[in-house]
Amino acid sequence: MGFVFVVHKGRVEAWHQNRTAFGTFSFEDFYRWHLQIMNELFAASKFPSAPDGIKAKVRLDRIVYVDDDVQEAVRKLTGPDGIRYDQGMWVWFDDQDRKGRWEPPTKEWRNRTEWSLPHELGHQLGLTDWYALDYEGDEDHLMPDNGDRIAHFMTHPITMMHWHGPHLFSEADAGYLNMTWDKPRGYYGDHYFAIPRECFLRIVDVNGSGVPKAKVEIFQRGVQVDENGKPGEDLGVRYFPVIEDGNFDRPVSKRPVIVGFTDEEGIIRLPNRPVKEVRTVNGFHRRPNPFGNTDVVGGRGLMLVKVTKYDRPCYFWLEIYQFVVAWFRGKRDRFTITLKTPYRSQDSPLPPRNVRVIAIGENHAKVMWDPPPIRHERQYLERAIGFRVYRRISSDGLNDRPWFPIATVGPEVREVTVDLRQFPGDIYWYSKVNRFAVSSIGELGVESELVEVISPFKIR
Ligand SMILES: [Zn+2]
């Protein structure tokens, strides 16, 4: 896939004054080297659905050296029919061009890699910004225990189209480029239409068993529910029409777009909401799907799932990225996402009581609890053979930053000291709030529900 670079001669000459990280005194070499880096990252972006990496290769087709007005030169690259036939371009234009005076790049600049360039050229190939799926939350959806906004950070942020840096392109990007490298360019984000035909959520409890008859409400970013619209129903699950005014920039909807209940196995089928159909030459087709009329920037590609059972709401995020990757992995007909709640099973032992946490110095905390009451001395299902202590950092969704176990102890133990400095090196972006929880463990390792407590003291 070829690119055109457009640059003023004055800038090129200024670059000729110094040796760059590439090793020559050349603007052209430095920026062609960035395409080599892009090709190396393409080849290294190997995934279950792209075992050979990204097949596409990029090359520098043409450099347009401009004598005077850069913007005028760019305009001339559009044909009389309004189409740009080069299908991928990068333009150097800033204040130096306006003033007609060009400085050599700084020592720092010319001696490093310009990681923004492979990212930006990714857009020229139709790839989207995955950081559009980050979300700091809003006032309509708050954590029940501390009032934090329920936030979300894109599921695989250390990727080229989320963050600039020496990162691989994501699996969805690999799938998109492997499907489109031999097609005409000019589309953007049409892989957001690649959603399996039938999508299911499987809500499970702390032991991995389905949660029957849980209420599932799904809210969507970028939409507002049309209160005058007529709700629809798809296999027993209701959905609500949204206002289609072209504004995808809204926070997560106050009202749900989807409401239903899980079946006996804890499964709910997401309704395929009606859409305005779109087909692209790349082979993508927007048809009825759980996200409805998805936009190609990502606004509507994020939905908040509120699961309620035992008067205890749990929050999860559905990200369009997961659906698109499933589609590229061949799950075109049927795709299920499992969401793990901290709820009990029918066979669970009784939960611990009075869970609390205190600070021990700067770097430690003590989590304490009382054992469950003895209700029926000989009832084997109620008996605890041990306890498990958990920790969770941030107020992101439960599937983003889940509970992680930090200790398993015997039935006589009533406290565990936690080294607060030891935790997964995950990305804690919007909030670093700490929660702890304790469960009882019964026979066969069956656990009780998690009894939660929020850290009353600040943890760095
Ligand atoms: Zn970008």
pLDDT, tens only, 249-298: 999 999 999 999 999 999 999 999 999 999 999 999 999 999 999 999 99
CA of 170 to the centre of ligand 1 (A): 14
Phi-psi map region of 42: left, alpha, beta (phi>0 left; psi -120 to 50 alpha): alpha
Name 134's Cβ contacts closer than 8 Å, sequence gap at least 6: 152, 153, 154, 157, 429
Quote the pLDDT of residue 407: 98
Q: What is the mean pLDDT of residues 1-13?
A: 95
Counting every residue written for the chain, the total comes to: 460
Binning pLDDT at 50, 70 and 90, where does residue 241 land? very high
Domains annotated on the chain, with CATH: 2-124 (no CATH), 130-147+187-340 (2.60.40.1120), 353-454 (2.60.40.10)
Q: Answer yes or no: are the C-beta atoms of 353 and 371 closer than 8 Å.
A: yes
Strands 364-370 and 353-360: antiparallel
Q: How far apart are CA 198 and CA 30, in angstroms?
A: 47
Phi-psi map region of 88: left, alpha, beta (phi>0 left; psi -120 to 50 alpha): left
CA of 190 to the centre of ligand 1 (A): 16
CA of 74 to the centre of ligand 1 (A): 21
CA of 128 to the centre of ligand 1 (A): 7
CA of 322 to the centre of ligand 1 (A): 20
Quote the pLDDT of residue 86: 81
CA of 117 to the centre of ligand 1 (A): 10
- Report the interhelical angle of 320-328 vs 171-180 (nearest 10°): 50
pLDDT tens profile 194-231: 999 999 999 999 999 999 999 999 999 999 999 999 99
CA of 335 to the centre of ligand 1 (A): 29
Q: What is the mean pLDDT of residues 154-158?
A: 97
Q: How far apart are CA 377 and CA 383, in angstroms?
A: 8
Binning pLDDT at 50, 70 and 90, where does residue 83 land? confident
Ion ligand 1 — residues with CB under 5 Å? 129
Alpha helix ranges (H) inside 229-319: none
CA of 407 to the centre of ligand 1 (A): 42
The answer on pLDDT for 301 being more than 90 is: yes
CA of 168 to the centre of ligand 1 (A): 15
Q: What is the mean pLDDT of residues 441-449?
A: 97
